[in-house]
Structure 1
Amino acid sequence: MAWHWLSDGVPLWYEDHGAGRPLVLLQGLQFPAGYFWQKNLAALVEAGNRVIVLDLRGQGLSGKPSGDHSVARNAADLAEFLDGRDITGAMLLGVAFGGIVALEYLRSHPAHRLRALGLCEMSPRVMSDEGWEHPTFGDFPPEAARGYGAGVRADRALLDGFLDAAFADPLDPAIKAEMKAQMYLTPTETVATIIDDMVEPDFRAFLPEIALPTLLVYGRRNNPVMPGRVGAWMAGRIPAAELVELDGGGHSVFWEDPTGFNRAVADFASRH
């Protein structure tokens, strides 16, 4: 466990394991990295990767300032982290919100520190708009998407339903309670502020500009969060994309089918 201090004084918690070429993992919203990746970290290190996990601004064990928690701010923090730790030749893999941050990093910053990209269980456009077939939840009208953060501010239990939807099978009550305790390490206002902004970006037109080899991983089983085949849609637009669809889990496929997920990531990382 270590800390990287950003230029504005905010400490980012991170861990750096193993040797080999770097694999930087960005988890979904709320969960601390050490908890989120517990079923993946050891296997990916054993596959010969140097695996770096971190908590973004305001989340997990990192510093929790008030103010800007936008996707752009998180992408800038990531750029500062990679520069500050002098991480080069990395594969950057993001799940859900982590994938949104990864795409914003690529869109807004030079990609010279990366050799490859991985995106898991994310949509390039979270909310619905005319003609868009792959928003989160299959249908997420702008008024609902833009009101979601306010709903979380009023009652954070609103996210309990999302936790249920994120898993293909019902969670054991003890595991669910443990997960909620981990989620609540991130303050409610931070979560709501992130949600306010993360529903806005639209990366659809940017996808053909991605020059990096890109792994796309999606869960096919009982997945109301990403019910369509958004991964296939993205694979048709990212020039050097490889799509892996796993039947062993839903939105949390990295947790429900860690063997399949780890195999897909390790294989791709070894070839690119």
Structure 2
Amino acid sequence: MTTTLATADFDHLLVREEEGGVHVVTLNRPEKLNALHAELWDELDAMCAVVERDPAVRVVVLTGAGRGFCAGADLAVITALPDDGVTDFMRVQEHGANVIARVKRLPVPVIAAVNGPAAGGGLALALAADVRIAAPEARFNVAFVRLGLSGCDVGVSWLLPRVVGLGHASELMLTGRLIDAAEAYRIGLVNRVVAAGDLMHAALELGREMAANSPYALKLTKECLQVNVDAGSIEAAIALENRNQVLASRTRDAPIAMRAFVTKTAPEFTGR
């Protein structure tokens, strides 16, 4: 039987299927503020592999169990590496970075519901999402530079400037300072801040709003946004837009969407 996200078995991730194809994926190491270790990186990678082939997944909501979203890399793992273990460290480094990139490349929208601290690799995970909603208890920092490491790690130097701009990204990455949810909202790091008790409701409501659109339209929209943010010219951006519009218009779901829009009825998409 083909594994779906709803039936996948993980040790450190909890998966809950919600109405409309929205799936909540919860990092589940609350005693460690959901810090990332080898097993959790592996499971996030496996989760992505399932999402990539599961047509029932329309939107993913990422959050953390307990009082944290994700405290970043589990320092016990890093400090256990031998001093001369360059190749070992590189293997750990590359694996984590590749997982962040894979989350970013997922063909469905990803919403980060940031319920508490998101530091280092946890910040990278939140940045890999398409939209971020935070509770007032959320805290964010790059963290790496405070540990005697480069502030540029697991994709943050690419992701953060594209979300908040180079000036804000430079300040956060060069100081490593912690910012609260209000400042994160002010600089555009999060889309909105809602009460902790309303966080999941807000994330699910947004997820259902996204999932109400046809799956292929969502996929092409996300793909185009990610490519065109770095487009070399408006002509290059428009060329991709034109291609995607023609492709989308030829799907079976396009006339269904048109008809539902005109008649103000709920569409039943085929995913084709």
Structure with more helix by fraction: 2
Normalized against structure 2, the TM-score is what? 0.37
Which structure exhibits the higher relative contact order, with contacts defined as CA atoms closer than 8 Å and separated by 6 or more residues?
Answer: 1
Larger radius of gyration: 2
